[in-house]
């Protein structure tokens, strides 16, 4: 098993748990929770595969993905009472998924020889789309439109990935450092309530 | 005309009528009603074709589909006053569409040689997506997230289909019995207010 | 540069500006405004390419599209205070985008040899989808479901395009006249508060 595949699976697990937690917070029935977990976990990658034309989409070619989602779903259900700080867990798993999905999108875009600006777009879209679907289905304001820095972290992470890749840095180093960068940006942004400057003057 | 094609068309008609009824209940204008009818009828199949990579999607390759949707739309408009029990009609047509679309998805997944768990996913997604789009566009709570058993019926139907298929049961028998099973599960679930057990303790 | 490509770009710019204006009206942060501008500008064309199977989608093959969207975004931000009549500007840019996207969809459908009724469907879908995404993301009632004539203008424009094309009228004449027709239909419809006749009797 390659490092890339391993990170891939961790990203999917993180998003599946974040989806399950959000759906349980909304008191959905067991099947509804599973649908949200599934949609959050595979949403971004499915959009990515459909837009670049890599069909059947990834989870149809690799059944393991579905088993990992099912396992994450049960883990989230079993540990739901231990997760006293539900919002913090949700935030953490969402950030991990965001970081790893950005790496996946950038790597896949690179392999398909797209222009850097397209690679960054694909990475940002595929990383944030799972969370957006989750929020829309759970009737929350989509995470990319909230005050926190979200998609901006993906853009920065993907740019750093491409720069490091250009300097022929080892792939394992790129994957791990970029993922941590994205998670760190989010943690710092939320901790210090950082948000993008606004261009609206107060009325 | 094969039995499969016939059931296909009936499924599309049933969903087109269910979409028209919902949109008229929301007092949409004639074009809006048509859009909802169209989206409900082709939504699931379009998602299925895009995910497995069978493009152009089915209704672009077979103009008959559009004629049948137009006809269903006019039938729903003409008979809208006879349909005194609008909610019951809506539920019935929705259930018929759900059953038939599950069969289609399972059959197409089998022909493409997917793993059984992927086939069940494709069948469930394509069967429930039309109703989900209809409900989102009409600003209703999506049917899969309501208390009633909905996607669960598709999963069960698709599993029974695969088991019968494994025992080499005649296709016509499989199609008809599985469709009736799915419709029956929904009827019984709604009649007796059955829903999935919940894992939330009352606070 | 061909006339077709030029109109293409103008359509994308018009939708990008309409998306930016709507997002700024909703007081989104700079990145949120960009996402809405991007989704509005490429949404319809992306749906079209995915449904007909022309992937990677158009903006992945032509980086210019992204540069034009970025430029439109900055123009909308810089001139936002001059745009005193924000609603009127929004309506105008939306109508221009609608007209030009209908032309693109019809032309692409013709080149792919689809049946006329499919061409009209593709053109209408791709023209109205950008505005629908914009409105859903901004939490407005989708423009196709408002009282005004919207998708109906695309249908009429696409039909006129096909009729003129059948009489071998020069392409430049078809493009320009059909676009103006669609914009004119919308302007007249909104000016005189025209809407489709309803089939509901008042209760």
What's residue B203's pLDDT?
A: 47
| Closest A-chain CA to B128 | A35
Q: Is residue C187 part of a domain?
A: yes
Q: How far apart are CA A131 and CA A173, in angstroms?
A: 26
**Do A17 and A93 meet the contact criterion of CB atoms below 8 Å apart?**
yes
What's residue C34's pLDDT?
A: 92
Residue C125 distance to chain B (closest CA, Å): 10
Q: Is residue A130 part of a domain?
A: yes
pLDDT above 70: percentage of residues in chain A:
96
Q: Is the pLDDT of residue B8 over 70?
A: yes
- What angle, 0 to 180 degrees and rounded to 10, lies between the N-to-C axes of helices B151-166 and B86-111? 40
Q: Is residue B123 part of a domain?
A: yes
Nearest CA to B58 out of B22, B111, B5 is that of B5
- CB contact B78 to C (< 8 Å): no
Q: Which of A35, A69, A78 to mutate to test the interface with B (most CBs of B within 10 A)?
A: A35
Q: What distance lies between CA A195 and its chain's CA centroid?
A: 19
Give the pLDDT confidence of C157-177 residue by residue, as tens digits. Answer: 999 999 999 999 999 999 999
The residue to which tokens 């694909």 are assigned: A122
In this prediction, does ipTM exceed 0.85?
Answer: yes
Q: How far apart are CA B104 and CA B117, in angstroms?
A: 16
Q: What distance lies between CA C126 and its chain's CA centroid?
A: 7
CB atoms within 10 A of CB A87: 10
Q: Is the pLDDT of residue C81 over 80?
A: no
Q: How far apart are CA A142 and CA A140, in angstroms?
A: 6
Q: Is residue A32 part of a domain?
A: yes
Q: Is the pLDDT of residue A10 over 80?
A: yes
Q: How confident is the model at residue C32 (pLDDT cuts 50, 70, 90)?
A: confident
Q: Which residues of C touch B63 (CB under 8 A)?
A: 115, 117-118
Q: What is the DSSP string of B17-64?
A: HHHHHHHHHTT--HHHHHHHHHHHHHHHHHHHHHHHT--S-HHHH-TH
Q: Is the pLDDT of residue A146 over 80?
A: no
The residue to which tokens 């840095």 are assigned: A169
Question: Among C51, C115, C117, whose Cβ lies nearest the Cβ of B57?
Answer: C51
**Do B120 and B110 meet the contact criterion of CB atoms below 8 Å apart?**
no
pLDDT above 90: percentage of residues in chain C:
60
Nearest CA to C42 out of C81, C70, C75 is that of C70
Please, what is the average pLDDT of chain B? 88
Instruction: Classify residue A53 as left (phi > 0), alpha (psi -120 to 50) or beta.
Output: left
Residue B153 to residues A18, A73, A195, B98: CA-CA distances in angstroms? 26, 20, 45, 9
Q: Which of B109, B113, B114, B118 to mutate to test the interface with A (most CBs of A within 10 A)?
A: B118
> For chain A, what's the residue count?
203
Q: Is the pLDDT of residue C77 over 60?
A: yes
Q: How confident is the model at residue A202 (pLDDT cuts 50, 70, 90)?
A: low
> What number is the average pLDDT over the span C128-152?
82
Q: How confident is the model at residue C203 (pLDDT cuts 50, 70, 90)?
A: very low
Domain count, chain C: 1
Give the pLDDT confidence of A98-127 residue by residue, as tens digits. Answer: 999 999 999 999 999 999 999 999 999 999
Q: Which of C23, C24, C31 to mutate to test the interface with A (most CBs of A within 10 A)?
A: C31
Q: How far apart are CA C72 and CA C80, in angstroms?
A: 12
Q: How confident is the model at residue C83 (pLDDT cuts 50, 70, 90)?
A: low
Q: Is residue B124 part of a domain?
A: yes
- CB contact A81 to B (< 8 Å): no
Q: How far apart are CA A61 and CA A56, in angstroms?
A: 7
Q: How far apart are CA C110 and CA A37, in angstroms?
A: 41
Three-state secondary structure string covering A96-130:
HHHHHHHHHHHHHHHHCCCCHHHHHHHHHHHHHHH
Question: Among A51, A144, A151, whose Cβ lies nearest the Cβ of C56?
Answer: A51
Please, what is the average pLDDT of chain C? 88
Q: Which residues lie below 8 Å from residue B122, measured CB to CB, with a gap of 6+?
A: A60, B48, B51, B52, B105, B106, B108, B109, B114
- CB contact B59 to C (< 8 Å): yes
Give the pLDDT confidence of B88-122 residue by residue, as tens digits. Answer: 778 888 899 999 999 999 999 999 999 999 999 99
Q: How confident is the model at residue B1 (pLDDT cuts 50, 70, 90)?
A: low
pLDDT above 70: percentage of residues in chain B:
95
Cβ-in-10-Å burial (0-12, 13-18, 19+) of A197 comes to exposed
Q: Which pair of structure tokens corresponds to residue B115?
A: 């793993």
Q: Is residue A50 part of a domain?
A: yes
List the domain range (segments joined by +) for residue B101: 3-191
Q: Is residue A174 part of a domain?
A: yes
Please, what is the average pLDDT of chain A? 89
Q: Is residue C196 part of a domain?
A: no
- CB contact C53 to B (< 8 Å): yes
């Amino acid at each position: 098993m390659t490092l890339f595949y391993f990170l891939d699976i961790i990203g999917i697990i993180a998003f599946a748990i974040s989806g399950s937690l959000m759906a349980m917070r909304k008191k959905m029935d067991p099947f509804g929770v599973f649908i949200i977990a599934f949609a959050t976990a595979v949403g971004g990658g499915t959009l990515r595969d459909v837009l670049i034309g890599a069909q059947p989409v990834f989870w149809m070619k690799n059944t393991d993905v579905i088993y990992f989602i099912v396992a994450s779903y049960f883990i989230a259900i079993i540990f739901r009472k231990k997760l006293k700080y539900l919002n913090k867990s949700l935030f953490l798993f969402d950030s991990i998924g965001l970081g790893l999905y950005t790496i996946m999108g950038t790597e896949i875009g690179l392999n398909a020889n797209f222009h850097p600006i397209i690679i960054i777009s694909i990475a940002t879209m595929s990383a944030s789309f799972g969370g957006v679907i989750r929020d829309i289905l759970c009737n929350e304001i989509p995470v990319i439109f909230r005050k926190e820095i979200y998609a901006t972290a993906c853009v920065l992470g993907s740019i750093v990935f491409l720069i490091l890749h250009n300097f022929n840095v080892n792939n394992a180093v790129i994957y791990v450092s970029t993922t941590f960068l994205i998670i760190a940006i989010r943690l710092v942004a939320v901790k210090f309530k950082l948000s993008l400057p606004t261009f609206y003057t107060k009325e």
